[in-house]
Structure 1
Amino acid sequence: MRALLYILESHPSQTQQAVMLSIRRILWPTDFSKGADRAFPHAAALASWHEAELHVLHVTEGRSGNAPDADIPIPKSTLSSLLSGDGDPPPHVDLDALTLVQEQREHRSPPEAIVGYVEEQEIDLIVAGTRGRRGLQRLLIGSVAEEVLRTAPCPVLTVRGAADRAPAWAVRNILVPVDFSDASLEALRHAKELALTYGAQITLLHAVEEVIYPSAYGVEPANLPGPQVIERVEGSLAELVQAEVGHEHATVEAKVGYAPSTILDYAEMNEVDLVVIATHGRTGFERMLLGSVAERVLRRAPVPVFTVPSFGKSLLPASDDS
């Protein structure tokens, strides 16, 4: 493990003028479940800190006995109670000052409706829960969450229905899995700006996967990853920090293991508050490698996951968008 001492100690209240991500419109899709409710403080905080519109979308698949007794628009009093779901509301978030856009639509496919709304309204970021209602009205995980993740043309922040380690505004440690692809470098650049937003430190993690061949291949165990490989990988990660991160407190780690398990274990054991990961997205061959890793991490991550697609919209300012 190698620590690079570029440190930024701050808090969202102190960094609002330094926020660099270009976020003008945030979408919070809801099915009125507790899982969806859990995501609202994250959406409201980011909308407030970026002075962005907050769009609220409820998609129904037609009337059903499982449909919740709720409707759009959601009263401000209800949203205010959701904002305090973690105990205390995020600092410097005033619902009355937010530009709220609320809409209800009926569609046979909630994922298609959500992505269609994103494209129609030019949404920059989706913030959604990962534990929704069962049956027709369920939102996320599995069919809806993963389909949105695969096809949305913008980053997606997913928030677990269970309690996270940190409330919406208290992100202090950001984990960025890096496989040295262009997509993972784009995720790292987004993580850098999120670190400015939250006043957080960043850890770059690369999983060195063991490749064990059949004995007929004649490959000796000595060819498996060893300390020298780990040291070289950490050196490459350190170079990335110098080139792409620069001024935050950043740590680099290389671990031997299956990528999804390595990422999840590290997040569980090291007080990670947010995972920022790339997805190669779309369908077919492009979903292999890091894209499928992102979906596996989404299913089991103990903390919110910010996914950055390799296609579509970047939230980076023009000078950083490459």
Structure 2
Amino acid sequence: MARANSLYALSDRPPRSKREMYMNSIARILAATDLSDNSMAALHTSVLLAELYQAELHVVTVVPARQGNTEDLLGKARKTIEVRAADELAKLCARLKKSPVNVQTRVVTGEVVPTVLQLAHDLKIDLTVAGTRGMGSKDLGSIGGVAERLAHAAATDVLLVRPDHSDLFNHICVAVDFSELSVMALKRAAEIARLMKVKELKLLHVLHLPDEYWLTGLSEKESLAKLSGFARQHMQEAVAGAGLKSLQTVECYEEGKPAETLARMAVANKADLLVMGSHGGTAASSAVVGSVAAKTIRAIPASLWIETDPKFKLGFLRALGKLMGLVND
């Protein structure tokens, strides 16, 4: 029966090694910071990444617009903010062996997320970096509203950095569901690992048994065994397609609900960075961030790199941005 066969559509996919997959290049990085203590780890990480990628670094502080003459108020504070941003960058760059290619700072007024999105578009940014929590946030283990909205809406890759992170990432995990975007995420994780001299990658796959598994005529145990076999086969193909020969890989499988299980696996593997695609194999074309990614953003207790598909997100978001008046051609 067709519906039953669709539960195991993985077995019909061609090997990933035969597909050409291209990541976004990282030549321009945008660090969005409110200069709070919680945001310093993200700023530090963006400077390190700019050094490793030899990328341009653009640092922006957005002062939220309020009633009254905001620009007059900003004019008085702008110099103070710019001086602090410059001081923090100078301290961070002094620790590096090789400074980033180019560093620019900006202080602007407006709504934080739309302003950052517009700036990322105007500057042709490849990676947007922000802290998971901003000014005044005491819950360091969860994602703040601004960070979550950036992750949902950015047309770039997004890196959300925990406030308690320091220096390089040492325990990198990547979520793999065998979609094209997850293979791109796998390649990105390998690239980051090599740049940061991490020798091992943990590959996380959630075995999610659809509610309709009984339509196959198999028991739950038999269905899980078959699904597990397909997953291991396709993991080998994904690893081969991503070119991970120089890295040690550890495959981790667990059954459960994708987002919750992925977060649990990240904790069990002591991940300080989880790399994942913004969409999985079943994401609807109208979603900017797939449902699993969206739930994982809220649940994950590690820094999170979200790999985007530039063809999909740029096309969708430019159309949406025009309707909302956020994007000007």
TM tier, shorter chain?
A: 0.7 to 0.9
**Distance across 2 between alignment mates of 1:218 and 1:194:** 41
The list of structure 1 runs, each at least 4 consecutive aligned residues, that deviate by more than 4 angstroms after superposition, is 67-70, 217-221, 287-290
* Map 1:274-313 → 2, pairs under 5 A: 274-280=273-279, 285-286=284-285, 291-312=290-311
Cα deviation digits, residues 36-55 of structure 1 (max 9, x gap): 11211110101112222211
Q: Residue 46 of structure 2 corresponds to which residue in structure 1?
A: 43
Displacement of 1:224: 6.2
**Distance across 1 between alignment mates of 2:254 and 2:289:** 16
Q: Residue 194 of structure 2 corresponds to which residue in structure 1?
A: 196
- Work out whether residues 178 and 234 of structure 2, in 8 Å CA contact, stay in contact via their aligned partners in 1: no
**Distance across 2 between alignment mates of 1:246 and 1:62:** 47
- Work out whether residues 272 and 303 of structure 2, in 8 Å CA contact, stay in contact via their aligned partners in 1: yes
Structure index of larger Rg: 2
- Structure 1: stretches of 5+ with no match in the other structure: 1-19, 315-322
- Work out whether residues 154 and 312 of structure 1, in 8 Å CA contact, stay in contact via their aligned partners in 2: no
Q: 38-47 or 296-305: which moved more? A: 296-305
Q: Indicate how the Cα distance of structure 1 residues 130 and 224 shifts in structure 2: closer, same or farther if over 3 A, else same.
A: farther
* Map 1:168-179 → 2, pairs under 5 A: 168-169=167-168, 171-179=169-177
Q: Indicate how the Cα distance of structure 1 residues 232 and 128 shifts in structure 2: closer, same or farther if over 3 A, else same.
A: same
**Distance across 1 between alignment mates of 2:226 and 2:96:** 46
Partner letter of residue 92 of structure 1?
K
Between the two proteins, the alignment pairs up a number of residues equal to 275
Q: Residue 135 of structure 2 corresponds to which residue in structure 1?
A: 133
Q: Indicate how the Cα distance of structure 1 residues 35 and 150 shifts in structure 2: closer, same or farther if over 3 A, else same.
A: same
TM-score normalised to structure 1 length = 0.73
Choose from 155, 158, 167 the match for 2:157: 155
- Work out whether residues 209 and 224 of structure 2, in 8 Å CA contact, stay in contact via their aligned partners in 1: no
Displacement of 1:210: 3.0
Partner letter of residue 120 of structure 1?
D
SS at match of 2:202: strand
Q: Residue 79 of structure 1 corresponds to which residue in structure 2?
A: 89
- Structure 2: stretches of 5+ with no match in the other structure: 1-22, 68-72, 314-329
- Work out whether residues 280 and 287 of structure 1, in 8 Å CA contact, stay in contact via their aligned partners in 2: no
Question: Is 1:208 equivalent to 2:207 in the alignment?
Answer: yes
Partner letter of residue 296 of structure 2?
V
* Map 1:249-264 → 2, pairs under 5 A: 249-264=248-263
Choose from 92, 96, 116 the match for 2:97: 92
**Distance across 1 between alignment mates of 2:206 and 2:227:** 11
Percent of aligned pairs with the same amino acid: 26
**Distance across 1 between alignment mates of 2:38 and 2:66:** 21
SS at match of 1:111: helix
Q: Indicate how the Cα distance of structure 1 residues 224 and 147 shifts in structure 2: closer, same or farther if over 3 A, else same.
A: farther
TM-score normalised to structure 2 length = 0.72
Greater relative contact order (Cα < 8 A, sep 6+):
1
Q: 200-209 or 227-236: which moved more? A: 227-236
Partner letter of residue 97 of structure 2?
H
Displacement of 1:177: 0.9
- By percentage of residues, which structure has more helix? 2
SS at match of 2:135: coil
**Distance across 2 between alignment mates of 1:219 and 1:187:** 35
**Distance across 1 between alignment mates of 2:154 and 2:60:** 15
Measured on the aligned residues, the alpha-carbon RMSD in Å equals 3.5
Displacement of 1:34: 2.1
Q: 241-250 or 261-270: which moved more? A: 241-250
Q: Residue 117 of structure 2 corresponds to which residue in structure 1?
A: 115
